[in-house]
Amino acid sequence: MNVTILGNNSALPAFGRHPTCQAVELSSEIILIDCGEGTQVQMQRYGIKWRRVHHILISHMHGDHYFGLPGLLNSMSLQGRKDELHIYGPQQLEPIVDAMMHAGGHQFEFPLHFHTLPDGAGVISDGTYFKISCFPVQHRIPCHGFVIEQKNARRRLLIDQCEAYGIPKTFYGPLKLGEDYVAPDGTVVPNELVTAESLPPRRYAYSADTLFSDSYLPYIQNADVLYHESTYLHADVEKAVARFHSTSMQAAQMAKMANAGQLLLGHFSSKYKDITPFQEEARTIFENAMATIEGTTYPV
């Protein structure tokens, strides 16, 4: 699993330091998290193929998190998309998109499914290779964070054992799916002798915009990577509280309490010209913290 920070169009000064929009890549699938103004431009710039996007998650109804969605959907339709697309977001989102398309006399040429996020926490998509959950955070309006869990459906091969039992490489695929091997002489090699359980699933947690609070701590516990907003440096903690945002040190404290593997900082206020202090402050509490940079891909 990899996370690419798309941000918004950096030509827009007000949003240039607001890398909220992200593309989470899982094998052949890409999940978009939030879709601010300029997202489709950023996708093209950083090589994110919209044809691989089948799920879009919208955390809340502030413009820097969804203003780019109607344009992206319209472009998908005009460019011949046929595959279905699932959008998960607040209940106000669907009528806004519908009204914009209706006003322009447009209709989508592909199946589009809107899913309203629950008031609380819950699983919103559960497939063969990944699961998506949401959880409420503390913001000025209803807002959700997300956890994406990549499933390892296939078993791990024990290559030495496979070779010892004379299993041909052409059968490695069925072994990963749990099948036993039957040799030409009829001898059965049980799958558990030549494979092992798959690795634990990787978990990526996205905090969205939130006041520092332990209310969502249970949902992000033990995340391999936690993206947490850090709009302000800690010297401006009063502004953070007043505007329902967090500071870099608060994000680091949350990562420490959650026992996260790594912390990615983002959603920096445009008032700051240098994001280096965000990383420096966070590392005084949580060493494995990084200030995210637009266009950079981070492994999970």
Backbone CA torsion sign across 149, 17, 143, 92: negative
What phi and psi values does residue 100 have, to the nearest 5 degrees? -65, -40
> Which of 207, 201, 209, 178 has the alpha carbon at shortest distance from 191?
178
- Residue with token string 């460019």: 79
Q: CA distances (Å), 255 to each of 130, 250, 288, 289, in order?
A: 23, 9, 9, 9
Contact, 296 vs 223, CB < 8 A? Answer: no
Give the list of residues 6+ apart from residue 184 with CB closer than 8 angstroms, or none: none
> What do you get for the CA distance between the two ends of the chain, in Å?
5
- Residue with token string 């249970």: 218
Q: Is 27 left (phi over 0), alpha (psi -120 to 50) or beta?
A: left
Angle between helical axes of 69-78 and 93-103 (0-180°, round to 10) = 50
Q: CA distances (Å), 193 to each of 187, 230, 262, in order?
A: 13, 48, 35
* Pair type for strands 122-126 and 130-136: antiparallel
Whether 64 is catalytic is: yes
Of the listed 64, 83, 126, 185, which one is catalytic?
64
- The Cα–Cα gap between 230 and 248 comes to 5
- Which residues does the annotation mark as catalytic? 64
